């Protein structure tokens, strides 16, 4: 199939998904139905939004896998850039080969050719479909020429293996989501709930806590699991909604 024909087929698929709302929903852009504003309802809402990020990556991964092996990096980049354009809170999507751990194609060509074999998303992805908790964007910070005065860019990741037609894992695809997006979601929910919200990792680390909330109050607060779907990698987060005095 000619490269232009292949790209046209991919673009047609994306446009069809967007026309039906699937593209926006999987990217987390479409609005959710009104959720309960009790703590459990807020945790459920966050879980749905996280699952949509996973669904978005799976849609991209299937497109990449369908056209594997690619004719060139540009063909893969077309898929990744199109996906990225429809999910502005995703700062980077890339495909790295298992053979050498280097990025074959990525959005805006960022990190192409770089060795990512020691990055958590690549390591986890060689074992299973995975969610990687918040971390500093060590490589992207440099690639984006981010001013140190802006602080360290922070991300959460989803990663999934790419298989060839014989079922062998040949590459990893990773999606880097801005931590600021997660913070923004929680800040909006605080407004609806009328109470501060803290976010705790699966290991018990406090990832986000409202300013001025004493540690003792956080320890005593009831926690609500952010239950993602069983078929999606989970961060295992918990919310503490600090209602009352």
130-136 and 154-163 beta bridge pairing: antiparallel
pLDDT given at position 24: 46
pLDDT given at position 190: 87
DSSP string, 99-168: TT-BEEEEGGGTTTT-B-TTSHHHHHHTTSSEEEEEEE-HHHHHHTT--GGG---EEEEEEEEEE-TTS-
Alpha-carbon distances, residue 217 vs 12, 29, 56, 232, 242 (angstroms)? 53, 34, 37, 32, 8
Quick one: fold of 3-181? Beta-Lactamase (3.30.450)
DSSP 8-class letter at 211: T
- The number of beta carbons lying within 10 Å of the beta carbon of residue 45 is 21
Task: Using alpha carbons, select from 32, 11, 14 the residue that is nearest to residue 22.
Answer: 14
Does residue 6 sit in helix, strand or coil?
A: helix
Does residue 242 sit in helix, strand or coil?
A: coil
pLDDT given at position 173: 96
In the block, tokens 């990744």 appear at 80
Per-residue pLDDT of the chain (245 residues; tens, 9 = 90+): 455 566 666 555 555 554 444 454 555 544 444 444 688 999 999 999 999 999 999 999 998 998 888 888 998 999 999 899 888 899 999 999 999 999 999 999 999 999 999 999 999 888 889 999 999 998 999 999 988 788 899 999 999 999 999 999 999 999 999 999 999 999 998 888 888 999 999 999 999 998 888 877 888 888 999 999 999 999 999 999 887 64
Q: What is the pTM of this model?
A: 0.86
DSSP 8-class letter at 30: S
């Amino acid at each position: 199939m000619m490269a232009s024909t292949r790209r046209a087929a991919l673009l047609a698929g994306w446009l069809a998904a967007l026309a039906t709302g699937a593209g926006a929903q999987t990217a987390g852009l479409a609005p959710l139905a009104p959720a309960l504003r009790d703590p459990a309802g807020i945790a459920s809402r966050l879980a749905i939004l996280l699952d949509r990020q996973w669904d978005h990556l799976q849609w991209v991964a299937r497109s990449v896998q369908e056209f594997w092996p690619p004719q060139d990096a540009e063909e893969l980049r077309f898929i990744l850039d199109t996906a990225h354009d429809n999910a502005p809170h995703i700062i980077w999507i890339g495909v790295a080969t298992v053979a050498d751990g280097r990025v074959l194609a990525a959005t805006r060509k960022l990190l192409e050719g770089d060795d990512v074999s020691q990055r958590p998303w690549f390591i986890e992805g060689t074992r299973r479909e995975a969610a990687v908790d918040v971390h500093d964007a060590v490589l992207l910070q440099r690639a984006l020429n981010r001013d140190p005065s802006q602080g360290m860019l922070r991300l959460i990741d989803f990663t999934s293996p790419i298989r060839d037609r014989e079922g062998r894992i040949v590459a990893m695809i990773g999606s880097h989501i801005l931590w600021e997006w997660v913070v923004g979601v929680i800040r909006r929910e605080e407004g609806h709930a009328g109470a501060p919200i803290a976010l705790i990792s699966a290991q018990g680390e406090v990832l986000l806590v409202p300013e001025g909330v004493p540690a003792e109050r956080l320890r005593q607060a009831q926690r609500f699991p952010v239950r993602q779907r069983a078929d999606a990698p989970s961060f295992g987060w918990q919310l503490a909604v600090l209602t009352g005095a």
